[in-house]
Amino acid sequence: MIRTRIIGTGSYLPERVVSNHEAASALGIDPETVFRLTGIQERRRADAAQASSDLAVGAAQQALHAAGLSPAAVGAIVLSTTSPDMAFPSTACHLQRKLGCSSVPAFDVAASCSGFLYGLSMADAMIRSGQIDRCLVVAAEVKSRSLNPADGDTALLFGDGAGAVVVQGERDAEQPGRGLLGIRLRSDGSQHHLIRVAAGGSRQPARPETVTAGDHTLRMQGAPLFRLAVRRLERAIREMLKEFGVEMRDVAQLVLHQANGRILAQLTKRLEVPPDRICSVIERFGNTSSASLPIALDHAVRAGRIRPHEVLCLGSFGGGLTWATGLVRW
């Protein structure tokens, strides 16, 4: 049996740091209040010349280096983003061009904050079906371009960044039990209104009126989204562990979407997971949407917090609504 294994991780964060003092100044909020409400001390902002594909290049190069591979070894590119360079062509095609991965398939996945796990699932399916041997899965977001600095529900949370993994198909006999054990994807479009950018698509094309109304900015109903995220992600994690016969005490690290410090705290409490088994980078980088999970994973790997044969549980929740879970034996 072929199993898909993560053989390299990478991440890229823009240089510019936005402190709570700067983020809160337009809102008249105390910086310590921001930290208490969000668990965030600072976030990163892309340079004016940087688009999502530029951030993706940095993360992809790190992941390829960690895997000991050149771009020529990549069989496909799957890129998650809801802040693409442009409407089309895909940001994945821009990344393919910049890396020089000639002729390989490259496409975007738009599943909001769950996009990385959606993309990882697509890569796993292509590998196990024999279409490709290796895949570069990247999540890259420049969310700052769609924020209203005066909107406290979003301006304080979101940052820019990219994360990536290289996955490879291996015969199970070569690495017994190691690799992706399973990924489960879910969605609920009836709750689409809780977080969205309303204009800029075919339903509300860009017009002077949509710009004036602020319909091209990210809007979020924080309280109901918070409640749904906690309940549905907790249930999905428990269901996945039960499906694969894994006890929570056997999970070495829980790597979740870094949406909000309070969401992470609630899930830690509900799942009865010790804080040292939660990979958290939200204090330094804020909510980087679909990039947050692979960024957290990369930082945990490079810090030596994840060791061979340990079980990891992955989870994310975002606009759509979408949510996803994954189980990995490292």
Q: What is the pLDDT of residues 170-221, one digit of tens each?
A: 987 666 689 999 999 999 999 999 999 999 999 999 999 999 999 999 999 9
**Residues whose CB falls within 8 Å of the CB of residue 208, separated by 6 or more in sequence, listed in order:** none
CB 282 within 8 Å of CB 258: yes
CB 119 within 8 A of CB 139: yes
Residue 167 sits in the same domain as residue 187: no
116-131 per-position pLDDT tens digit: 999 999 999 999 999 9
Judgement on whether residues 41 and 190 belong to the same structural domain of the protein: no
286, 42 Cβ separation under 8 angstroms: yes
Which residues lie closer than 8 Å to 66 by C-beta, 6 or more apart? 7, 8, 9, 10, 166
Q: What is the pLDDT of residue 102?
A: 86
The pLDDT score that the predictor gives to residue 172 is 74
- Three-state SS annotation for the chain: CEEEEEEEEEEECCCEEEEHHHHHHCCCCCHHHHHHHHCCCEEEECCCCCCHHHHHHHHHHHHHHHHCCCHHHCCCEEEECCCCCCCCCCHHHHHHHHHCCCCCCEEEECCHHHHHHHHHHHHHHHHHCCCCCEEEEEEEEEHHHHCCCCCHHHHCCECEEEEEEEEEEEECCCCCCCEEEEEEEEECHHHHHHEECCCCCCCCCCCHHHHHCCCCCCEECHHHHHHHHHHHHHHHHHHHHHHCCCCHHHEEEEEECCCCHHHHHHHHHHHCCCHHHEECCHHHHCECHHHHHHHHHHHHHHCCCCCCCCEEEEEEEECCCEEEEEEEEC
217 and 297 together in one domain: yes
Measured CA distances, 133 to 106, 107, 127, 138, 171 (Å):
15, 17, 6, 17, 11
Last residue of a domain, one of 136, 153, 171: 171
Cα–Cα distance list, 282 to 3, 48, 164, 286 (Å) = 31, 23, 17, 5
Domain count, the chain: 2
Same domain, yes or no: 119 and 18: yes
Low-confidence stretches of the chain (pLDDT beneath 50) = none
* pLDDT for residue 176: 67
pTM over 0.85: yes
Mark whether 194 and 163 lie in a shared domain: no
Asked whether residue 295 falls in the same domain as residue 202, the answer is yes
The residue segments making up the domain with residue 272 are 179-329
- What is the rounded average pLDDT for all residues in the chain? 96
Whether residue 188 contacts residue 321, with contact meaning beta carbons closer than 8 Å, is answered with yes
Domain boundary among 126, 141, 171: 171
Identify whether residues 165 and 185 lie together within a single domain. Answer: no
Residues 39 and 10 in one domain: yes
- 324 within 8 A of 114, measured Cβ to Cβ: yes
Partners of 18 in the β-ladder: 43
18 and 132 fall within a common domain: yes
Q: Given this model, what pLDDT does residue 260 score?
A: 93
221: domain CATH number?
3.40.47.10
Catalytic residues: 113, 257, 287
Shared domain check, 108 and 21: yes
- Residue 183's DSSP bridge partners are 326
Residue bearing tokens 């005490």: 249
- Contact between 120 and 328 under an 8 Å Cβ cutoff? The reply is no
pLDDT of res. 319: 96
Query: Are 154 and 121 within one domain?
Result: yes
Strand partners, 219: 196
